Amino acid sequence: MSADLYDGAIVVSILAATLRTMTPLLFSAMGELVTQRAGIWNMSVEGAMLSGAFAAYIAIATTGSPVLALLAAIFAGMMVSLLNAILTASLKVDHFVAGLALNLLAAGLTLFWFRAFISGRGQPTFDGLAPPDWALADLPVLGPILFAQRPLTWLAFLCVPLVWFLLYRTRQGLELRCLGENPAVLDFKGVNVVARQYAASLFGGAMTGLGGGFLILAFSDRFLPDITAGRGWLVVVAIIAGGWRPLGVLAAVTVFAFLEALAIHAQVLGLGLPHQLFLAAPYIASLLLLTHLRHRDRQPALLGEVYRRGER
């Protein structure tokens, strides 16, 4: 009897952790989905998320305000995506090259500024975002899973239908999808292709920055130079695996987050497998997914193609 109770508690804990872990991935994935549907193969997600986390850390360590920290995270994410848009949409640089360069830049700059920030005073810690303390959180089973979550987690889930509605039910969404399929169509109608690509990039950067901010405020009390640990890349994989559709991306993010939540509980579960294997599970899953998804017929037709008017 007591063993059953114990098992039940673990399942609840794993599911609650899954939703928590999904939050930063979902914000970023919904944002970058919009960027990719606009035809920009943004490879700088990891860098934007790291920048968001770092900006949130500096803001909360100096002001103590989680709201300011999240705003700083959004701003930092947008700066990285603005650079990406300048490189890809305006300067017509190869999308992969631009994204990889920005990742290196973000990793180097955050580390440099972090060292400068802590030199001579040691690393300050902070109180991040706490889950709300209310009666619903005390419900059995559903309480810890659904209601002991931070409001931003609920917002992240709300983003899925919102992005779906934007893409498939609005004029702007239709034109955005058109950017990824055949930007010449919009160009011939006098719609400013470059401006739309900037808008889509900035939206993606803001969402990824927010994800990075949530990551540090909800999961940590200090900054670590590699705090994003490849989550930005998982987002890219989730978008491919999800076939560039909001619900598909949600499903892929759920799988990755569930595997990560399992990893956190691996030692408690005592499955007799090395702990490291569980830590690597989301990344192994992403590799397997990609090798099985070689046919990308749902990919926007001109994703990652530099658009120049009248080019053959």
Binds another protein (CB under 8 A): choice among 17, 145, 148, 186: 186
In whole angstroms, give the CA distance from residue 253 to residue 160: 11
Residue 10 within binding range of another protein, rule CB under 8 A? no
Binds another protein (CB under 8 A): choice among 170, 224, 267, 287: 170
Binds another protein (CB under 8 A): choice among 177, 197, 213, 263: 177
Residue 70 within binding range of another protein, rule CB under 8 A? no
Residue 189 within binding range of another protein, rule CB under 8 A? yes
In whole angstroms, give the CA distance from residue 71 to residue 33: 21
Residue 178 within binding range of another protein, rule CB under 8 A? yes
Residue 112 within binding range of another protein, rule CB under 8 A? no
Contact assessment for residue 122 and residue 77, using Cβ atoms and an 8 Å cutoff:
no
Residue 175 within binding range of another protein, rule CB under 8 A? yes
Binds another protein (CB under 8 A): choice among 100, 181, 245, 283: 181
The pair of structure tokens assigned to 122 is 């040691």
DSSP string, 111-169: HHHHHHHHTTT-------PPPP--GGGGSSSHIIIIISS-HHHHHHHHHHHHHHHHHHH
Helix (H, G, I), strand (E, B) or coil at 83: helix
Contact assessment for residue 25 and residue 31, using Cβ atoms and an 8 Å cutoff:
no
Question: Nearer to another protein by C-beta: 118 or 187?
Answer: 187
Residue 305 within binding range of another protein, rule CB under 8 A? no
Name the site residues for another protein (rule: CB under 8 A): 169-172, 174-175, 177-178, 181-182, 184-191, 300-301, 312
